[in-house]
Structure formats: C-alpha cells, structure tokens
Structure 1
Amino acid sequence: MTAKAERWALVNGEFLLPDGIRRDVAVMIEGETVGAVVDAADRATLGGVPILDLGGRLATPGLIDLHVHGGFGYAFDRIDELGTEPSVPAVLRRLARSGVTSAQVSLVSAPVPQLCARLAQLAVQDTARVDGAQFLGVHLEGPFLAVAQCGAHDPAALCDPAPADVTALLRHRDLIRMVTLAPELPGAIDAVTRFASAGIVVAAGHSAAVVDDLMAAQAAGLRHVTHLWSGQSTTQRHGAWRVPGLLEAALASTGLTAEVIADGRHLPPHLLEIARRCLGERLVVVSDGTPGTGMPRGYTYQLGAVQCEVGDGVGMVVGADAFGGSTATLPRMLRHLHDELGWPVAEAVATVTSRPAAVAGLGDRKGAVAAGMDADLAVFGEGFRPWGTVLRGRWLAADDMDDHLDHPSGRTTA
C-alpha cells in the first residue's frame, strides 16, 4: 500500500543532507516535493501532520539508475517477458521497493528497425504508475558498437552509425535520453553531433577507440563513458609507441563523466579505487541490471539474442568467459562500496544519487534531500538493506515490510 497523505513528515532518522548526515531534523513532505527540512525538536514546525518514525535508520536521496536492462525475470527489450504484465512497469515497481526512485531503461543492441519498433512500443507502455520508479527515458546501448568489444552484445546486431539509421532513431528523440556508441566507427563523429544536438547524452562504450577518437567525439558533444573496464580498449603499441586506449583516455579526461558496475564481481577493489581517484565527483555507479537480477543461481535469460545465466553473484554469457551484465541492485552496490571497501557514506551514496542526476540533467530536481526537490528518498537498515521508499511523496514499504504510515493520524511520536 502507499501513503495518501499530502503533508507528512519523516523523523528520527539519519538523514543524508547536502551538508552531511543530520539526526536532529525532520523532513517535511508536501505533495510530491520536499517542503522543508526543519528542527525535529520544534514540534510547532511539524504542524500536527502524520509522522513516520524511521527508528534511527539511514535516509538518503532516492537512488537513480542510468543503466539497467531489466530484472526479476523481465527484459526491457522483450514484451511481456513472463506473460503477466509489461516488463517496464513490472521492473520499475520492484526497483522502487528497493530504494531506486528513477531509472533509465537500457536496450541492448538489435537491428535499427527492431529498436525503433521497441521504442514505439515503450512510448505507449504505462510507465507512470504511482508505485514504480520514475521512467527517465531510454538508454540505447548499441547497436553502433565495436565487434571486438561486443561483450554480451550479439555481434550480428552491430553496425556502423549510417546517417539513415541515426535519422530513424532520432524520430524517437523524445524517448531516447542516452546513446552508447564506439567513437572510432565510420560515421560516429557525425552521429555524436546529431544525437547531442537533439539533447541526448552520448556515451563511449564497447569500443576499440584510442585517445584521439575519444577527444574528437568529446569535441562533437560526447559527455559520458559507459562502464569503465567493461568492453573497452586499453593501451596499444604502435611500434615503440604506446597509445592510450578508451580506458586510459577516459580516466585522464577532463569534463567527461563515467560509470562503473560496483557489484564486487565486474571490477576488483583496486580498479574501483583507480576510477575513484581519477574521476572524483565525475564517477557514477550503475547496476547494469539484467533479467537475472533477483533470480536464483542457474536461472537463464536473454540479452537480445545472447543467452546468459545467473552465476555467483553476476550474469555470465553461456558458453563464454564473459559477463552477461549484473544481477545486483544499487543497494547491494552501496553495501559493497561502504561496508566492504570503506568508502564514506556520503561519497558512496552520491555515486547513485546526485551524480547520475547531474548526468541526466536533473540535478535541479533530484539527487538531494532539500526543500524544493522531488520527494524521493530511500530508507535503509543496516548494510543498506531497503526498509522503505518515499516515491514522489508517497510511502512505499520494502517488499518484506508493512506500510508504516497510517493516514490520516499517522504514526506519531511522543
């Protein structure tokens, strides 16, 4: 169930605010917006509204996932994967219960006509459900990728960005929010210019590029780099000379943001630390979640035409030594970064809140708990285990929790 109160407050939490963690405040919810952050000891400021006692739990901005292909048996590039309901609202609902309040739907590589057909289907799918994470739009991961760095993408679906294909995709510009491509491909720089001019975030990924390719793409409007170390060229030898690949060029770049999959499987701690030191506040964490997220070991699923299965905490391409996306949610990645690697809470949480909000151009509305921002918050127990979510001003208990906000009287404290 969801809370229906228009005005209510969260109290007795460890609230992660822009200036750090505060325990002495209450967060006032006004409809779908954070109305104010007030002194919890001043009962007059609460105005007799319903109160939700967080029991000392951590409350952060709602999590934002910019790269997720599905979850819980559903794939975004397939209609009615389990035959029960459309995939996008089904996954968005489950994500919301885990603390993810906004998400970009990622589609794997496929022939451009097939992608256009899927985009047309997504345009009419019900993505505005009150109990689901906000649908931010679509991330096309391909098909303009390098065969040599295809990873879990079907090589037969990959192609150079021909002008006609770019034109076909741009007919869906209102839905597409991000495109990942390989900047070294013939026609890629023109494609970057056209996508960026349409307001679409262009990212480099699954690429055999060298430093000059990335610099040319950045000059044309490329802004982001997709999952560092996964599907990326590294330093090449040209005779006696060493030429930085996409990875080194991204780590040494100025102005580019980049993402990592921090599931404890894709990258060892030392590589995460390198990305952290090189990129600082430009580093973003994504789930790269797949239909295998939330499913048992041995469960098989498709990424486009590629068959994968859930392995030991990660997706694996069947019959190949390659990862098939992630099977971890963002809260599990926060647990890895903070509890296992020792990153400060504020820094770890920023990688899945304020930083992806900035990449998506939503930093004025999302990614912080402050007056005037969207009323999206995630509440966690120990080890970043989801306890509940404030989603557009409504309370959602985690999957195994009851609704703790009674209306109209609410759960009050003394």
Structure 2
Amino acid sequence: MDRFLKIVNAKVITSQGIVNEGVVTVKNGLIESVGNKNIDIEGAVEIDAAGLYLSPGFIDLHIHGGGGADFMDGTAEAFLTIAQTHARYGTTAMYPTTLTSEKKDLLETLQVFERANKRNDNGAQLMGMHLEGPYFSMSQRGAQDPRYIRNPDPAEYKEVVAASASIKRWSSAPELEGAVEMGRFLRSRGILPAIAHTDAIYEEVAEAFENGYTLATHFYSGMSGVMRRNGYRYAGVIESGYLINEMDVEVIADGVHLPAPLLKLIYKIKGADHIALITDAMRAAGMPEGDSILGGMETGLKVVVDKGVAWLPDRSSFAGSVATADRLVRNIINLAEVSLTDAVKMISLTPARIMGIDSHKGSIAVGKDADLVLFDEDIQIRKTIVKGNIVYSSDNR
C-alpha cells in the first residue's frame, strides 16, 4: 500500500526562498510535490501547519550524545536514545561521533552502530560514524582524554576502516607524522578527513586540504590561531580556514563556544554555503544540569553542566556542549544576525553537501527524502518527520 502525507498552510523554506501558504505532498517517504496548490489525495494523512514554518530536517554532522546516553556507551539502546532525544529538537539525520579511545573501543562502537541502525525507526536517522581522534595534537586536546592520544598508525586505521563500511568521516590533526597519507587513504575509501584538535600552521593545512582534509571540525575550538615560533609569526588553522575559500567549517552555535562577534565574522567570510552548524552534544543534552560524563560510562571523563555549559571539573575546558539543533538555529539568527533561510541552510543543505548526501537530503525538493520539521517563529519544534514518518509531535498527534 502506498503511504501518503500532505502538509498544508505552511511557510515552506525552500532553496529558492519561502513559499507562503505552501503545500508539500509525500509519497512513500519521498517528496512528491511542493507548491501552493492543495491537491486532493485519497487516504493521505493531512497536517494543517496553521502558518508554521516547514523546514528541511536538521542534519548534525558532529554529535556525541543526549538524553543521558553517549555513543561510546557500547549499547544499541544508547544510540536509539540519542536518536530519539534529538529528534524532539528537529534533528532528522546525524553522524554519531566517537572520542579518543583504544582501537578495541572504536571497533566495538562500529559494531554497535550497525546493530542499532537496524532497529532505529523512531528517531533521527543514523547516517554513518564520525571518528573523532585519537590522532590529535596533545596541546590542543581540549576534553579529549590524553591517555589515548597518539600519532596516525597505518596498520591501526586501515584495520578500523576495513572493519566497517559505516565510517563516513574521521577527524585528525593534519600536522602529525603520517596524517597526510592517512587523508589520501581515507579519501580513496570514500571517507571524509577533517581537521581537528590541531596546532598546524597554514602551510600544513594547505597541504592537508590538497590531500582531502576539506572540513575544519568545530571551528575555533581545539585549533591554532596566529602563533610565534622563533620570533616569526605564522598563520594557524583558523586563518587557514578563512584563506582557503573552499574549506568548509563546523560551528558550535550554542552561544557558549563562540561569542556573537566571532559568529558574525565566520558568517561574513565563509557564508552559509561553507558553514555547517553542529551541536557537538554530549550525554547531558536534553537532561537536567549537574554531574555528567563525557564518553563511555566506564571510561569517560567527569563533566559538570552548569548554566547551559558542559565543563571539565577544573573548568579548564568545555566538554562538548548540551546544545540541541533548534538552539543552534535560534542563536545563529539572533547572535549573528543571519536570515532564517541561511540559518536553515547551514543545518540542512550545507551539511548534506559536505557529506555527499545532498542528492536525497538537505532541502525540500521533489524526489528527496521527506525529512521535515515544523516550527514556530521562535524555532520551537512542533513536529519532526523522518522519511515521511512522524517521529516527534509536540501535541502527540
């Protein structure tokens, strides 16, 4: 039996602009039409948006947890809890992210991902794994556990890649010995290398970019800026991200990691086409404040969540964020004075393009997956729809 869904009276956010009093129809999980004409479809589930915005679903490229669970917990239930938690805030697709760890923990997490993905029918779609570390600069480790930080090991990373087809990106410090070769290897396997937790200078970033490192992980966080070596100044990763026009950057727009002036600067230079908004959320997202853990329950680091900020206990570093996708959109609009359409683009079409899935996700267009979000003027989520299925409704309908 064909499944039909029709959404009427919506302000539809498309790549061409906002369609007022818009109508979107869905057949078997795919968008079938977008326009103003209310087509009569027998048997269709109809949603009257009553003037709410209808947006493409939010895509989170970098997320560690939520709802009291972390992807490093080693259980399928943790994956499903996180997917369901963030669906309440408009996320329809996500790339579960690891932390620095032993090889065995990475391999186990990849296996758990594959088990969880087969059972995930009531939350954000799990698009593939993002491995964050363990090949980082110790001086830029942030909240990454120093016990596991090391240089790229070809035997290790090739074994990990061979173990699972679910790896879609891998964040590393490009200045480390062997990192450029690793980037070339990852690209040859269809995996996106990303620059992260790094003390690289411009020349090292430029070489890495030419060898596949086209994304800067959580821009400004855990990366070098202008530095002095032997009296001479060098451009760091931040300046490199601006100078290399085609470099994409992730931005944690939680209102904590980056103040309004820096959000405005990033937007002014990079534009919506090269910025992906990310939560970098840890397990405390969507939970009451207090003590928490970054990473697995058994091996993770202690964290304190206070006034919307996740800290290491000594307050020396942020420990991820407790942001949700709706908060990112609100903040980038209010703090950086970005238009609604550009804000939505930075959390839908741009991340889809970065990950090579924009042929079927990232915008409201005929033939694409019906990943949709209904929200009000304050970006309060009313409904989240994944491939035509309502996975969250604020009114339980």
Counterpart AA for 2:54: A
Q: Aligned to 2:255, which of 243, 258, 264? A: 264
Is the counterpart of residue 74 in structure 1 residue 69 in structure 2? yes
Is the counterpart of residue 14 in structure 1 residue 11 in structure 2? yes
Shift of 1:99: 1.4
Q: 2:217 matched to which residue of 1?
A: 226
Q: What is the correspondence of 1:123-142 to structure 2 with a 5 Å cutoff?
A: 123-142=114-133
Q: Aligned to 2:342, which of 344, 347, 372? A: 347
Is the counterpart of residue 166 in structure 1 residue 157 in structure 2? yes
Long gaps (5+) in structure 1: 404-414
Matched-pair identity in %: 28
Long gaps (5+) in structure 2: none
Q: 1:409 matched to which residue of 2?
A: none
Shift of 1:127: 4.6
Structure-2 change in CA distance of 1:270 and 1:75 (3 Å): same
Q: 2:264 matched to which residue of 1?
A: 273
Answer with 377-386 or 45-54: which moved more: 45-54
CA distance in 1, matches of 2:108, 2:391: 33
CA distance in 2, matches of 1:24, 1:388: 18
Structure-2 change in CA distance of 1:316 and 1:325 (3 Å): same
Answer with 55-64 or 302-311: which moved more: 302-311
Q: Is the 8 A contact 1:152 1:303 kept in 2?
A: no
Q: 1:190 matched to which residue of 2?
A: 181
Shift of 1:126: 4.0
Q: 2:229 matched to which residue of 1?
A: 238
Q: Is the 8 A contact 2:100 2:144 kept in 1?
A: yes
Shift of 1:382: 3.0
Counterpart AA for 1:12: N
**TM-score of the pair, normalised by structure 2:** 0.95
Shift of 1:240: 4.3
Q: Is the 8 A contact 1:139 1:176 kept in 2?
A: yes
Counterpart AA for 1:349: V
1:274-297 CA deviation, whole Å, 9 max, x = no partner? Answer: 111221111111000100101122
1:31-83 CA deviation, whole Å, 9 max, x = no partner? Answer: 1100011323xx4x333444210111111000000000010100100124xxx
Look up the SS of the partner of 1:86 in the other structure: helix
Is the counterpart of residue 295 in structure 1 residue 287 in structure 2? yes
Structure-2 change in CA distance of 1:252 and 1:307 (3 Å): same
CA distance in 1, matches of 2:378, 2:163: 40
CA distance in 1, matches of 2:115, 2:63: 20
Shift of 1:122: 2.3
Counterpart AA for 1:287: T
Counterpart AA for 1:293: A
Look up the SS of the partner of 1:13 in the other structure: strand
Q: 1:407 matched to which residue of 2?
A: none
Is the counterpart of residue 47 in structure 1 residue 41 in structure 2? yes
CA distance in 1, matches of 2:369, 2:117: 21
Q: Aligned to 2:20, which of 10, 23, 36? A: 23
Is the counterpart of residue 114 in structure 1 residue 111 in structure 2? no
Shift of 1:123: 2.3
Q: Aligned to 1:315, which of 297, 302, 310? A: 310
Is the counterpart of residue 143 in structure 1 residue 134 in structure 2? yes
Q: Is the 8 A contact 2:24 2:31 kept in 1?
A: yes
CA distance in 1, matches of 2:47, 2:114: 36
CA distance in 2, matches of 1:210, 1:182: 11
Shift of 1:321: 1.8
Q: 1:410 matched to which residue of 2?
A: none
CA distance in 2, matches of 1:75, 1:127: 18
Q: 2:201 matched to which residue of 1?
A: 210
Look up the SS of the partner of 2:93 in the other structure: strand
CA distance in 2, matches of 1:266, 1:236: 21
Q: How big is the alpha-carbon RMSD for the aligned residues of Structure 1 and Structure 2? A: 1.6
Counterpart AA for 1:352: I
CA distance in 2, matches of 1:367, 1:92: 18
Shift of 1:213: 1.0
Q: Is the 8 A contact 2:117 2:126 kept in 1?
A: no
Q: Is the 8 A contact 2:140 2:223 kept in 1?
A: yes
Counterpart AA for 2:284: G
